[in-house]
Amino acid sequence: MAAISSNPRTVEEIFKDFTARRSAVIRALTSDVDRFYAECDPEKDNLCLYGYPNDTWEVTLPAEEVPPEVPEPALGINFARDGMQRRDWLSLVSMHTDTWLLSVSFYFGARLNRNERKRLFSMMNELPTVFEVVTERKPLKGVDSGNKSRGSTKRSSDGQGKGNHRLQDGNYADEDEDEHGETLCGSCGGNYNADEFWICCDICERWFHGKCVKITPAKAEHIKQYKCPSCSNKKSRQ
């Protein structure tokens, strides 16, 4: 496995680490895609796509040490390779990779203060996501999608996905705190916190901590209409 540099600590160091890892995984999914595709053999164990700060990439097993030095990428990307159209599979891998890149950067940035986190996110958000590069999509930033569903995740200023139908970047963080400051989790009753992932039920329109309803940002990306456990149970009893 390629060597990993010492942990970056400043906003500039973390951003440099992010861009190097991002460049590496984009190359794996574009110019090196044939080699990447071949290395993701479905007959092998859980494989991950790693991008390294020395601008190299690798398809390999997850780190053996517990806890790992950095958050782990999505496991088992190879298993779905032959069960999907190639472009769809690459799109799926790229979405998981975007989530991983964010998690690594904000893992390193855990000690940053609020303004530093916002500045880091702003710098990262100026770059197209891996998904946008791989699929050649360029969605507009800061534009209301017109969809009332709040089940899809968008990146918030701390790098975590948060349920909201409005596309969101760091400039909306304070506004969002004001809008949802009195919101309580429909499961545990806890107060709203912009530093945590939340999701809204499209049926009863109550908000929930993602951890309370076992929904992660990556999982929420694939949910077209989210129904909380209570609404799901009501439907099953009918």
> pLDDT by residue (tens digit) across 86-132?
999 999 999 999 999 999 999 999 899 999 999 999 999 999 999 99
Average pLDDT over residues 173-197: 68
- Domain spans, the chain: 11-135, 153-237
The model's confidence at residue 141, banded by pLDDT at 50, 70 and 90, is very low
Q: Are 121 and 155 in contact (CB under 8 A)?
A: yes
Give the separation between CA 21 and CA 226, rounded to whole angstroms: 32
Question: Which of 7-16, 27-36, 65-74, 78-87 has the largest mean confidence?
Answer: 27-36
The model's confidence at residue 153, banded by pLDDT at 50, 70 and 90, is very low
Q: Are 49 and 97 in contact (CB under 8 A)?
A: yes
User: Burial, 4: exposed, middle or buried (Cβ in 10 Å; 0-12, 13-18, 19+)?
Assistant: middle
In the predicted structure, residue 151 carries a pLDDT above the cut 80: no
pLDDT in tens, 217-234: 888 888 888 888 888 876
The correct CATH number of 153-237 out of 1.10.10.10, 3.40.190.10, 3.30.40.10, 3.40.50.720 is: 3.30.40.10
Cα–Cα nearest to 31, from 134, 136, 137, 135: 134
pTM: 0.57
Contacts 24+ apart (CB under 8 A), 214-217: 217/99, 217/153, 217/160, 217/161
Give the separation between CA 210 and CA 87, rounded to whole angstroms: 29
